Amino acid sequence: MEAIFLAGGFGTRLKPLTYTRAKPLLPILNKPMILYLIDSLPSEVDRVILAVNYKKEQIEKCFSKYDCGREIIINEEPEPLGTGGAVKFAEKYLGDRFFVLNSDIISSINLQDMIRFHERNKATATISLWPVDNVSEFGVAEVGEDGRITGFVEKPKPEDAPSNLINAGAYLLESEVLDYIETGRLVSMEKEIFPQIISNTGRFYGYKFEGYWIDIGRIKSYLYVNQFLLKEKGLDKIIGEDSNVKGDIVNSILGRNVNVGRNTVIKSSVIFDNVSIDDNVTIENSVIGENCRIKENVYINNAVIGDNETIMDGYEIIDTTIWTQPIPEGYPKKQIGNVIGE
């Protein structure tokens, strides 16, 4: 059985961290995000297809170092193809049934149980569903008592919403779904293909699950998922190998080879590899990219520092992003494709 991970986006809402790395490689508790997702796959999945476009070489390098116990195929798209186009482009690797998964969602979903639900209903397509408080921000599913989805209502008023359940970004599809997708263009599975399956087959189901669901779409949610999983593990901090810490680390994750000076305090933050932080520094609710140098008496709060930046003595950096280098050629000014839930 196969699983396709949609990993071709630029991650524009996570810049400047994604100026220099593929979004699926963002570290969560010092482990590339994509590896969390692969570890969550049921044993039936023996082939993983990564639909990639941006920074393919980085992803290849990552998987040359990690043995995931499954065949890994890195399927480079000639251009961003959207959720549907990426699936069609991987058609030659697919069997009778396969998962399609977003590479930026960390959740408690039990994919083995989702397979059983799909089989029990003889479904053509099953998608994961997650309850939300504010239905007006999402496409909301119309779901029958048997779990059958009959449609979606886009960003309804609360009083008009057919449910509080949204598309949670995990799909289990029969191969016949491929016949609905045109070749060689950007296709939205959610907007173009799902309505056709609902209309033509009547066998489109929603699998509801409980626990947690975190869309790593923005810096705020990236920080949150690290904090959440740290707490889930019962830890106050993680400090990577070859790090030297003389200050206080609270509710934070430090990568490898991080040096922290005296009287420095790091709270609720993520520090990437090879960072040097001098004495008398305070960092709160922030992300510090690889190879950064933070000099003495600096205060950083609610900020993101891109890779390879130096912050000079005495600076205050609050509610902002630091990136002083050229923006990579071809990096888009806004998001390409569609967001889950829309």
Give the residue numbers annotated as catalytic, written as ranges. Answer: 155
CA distance 161 to 158: 5
The rounded distance, in Å, linking the Cα atoms of 220 and 82 is 24
Give the whole-angstrom CA distance, residue 24 versus residue 9.
9
Q: Which of 342, 277, 339, 336 is nearest to 12 (CA)?
A: 336
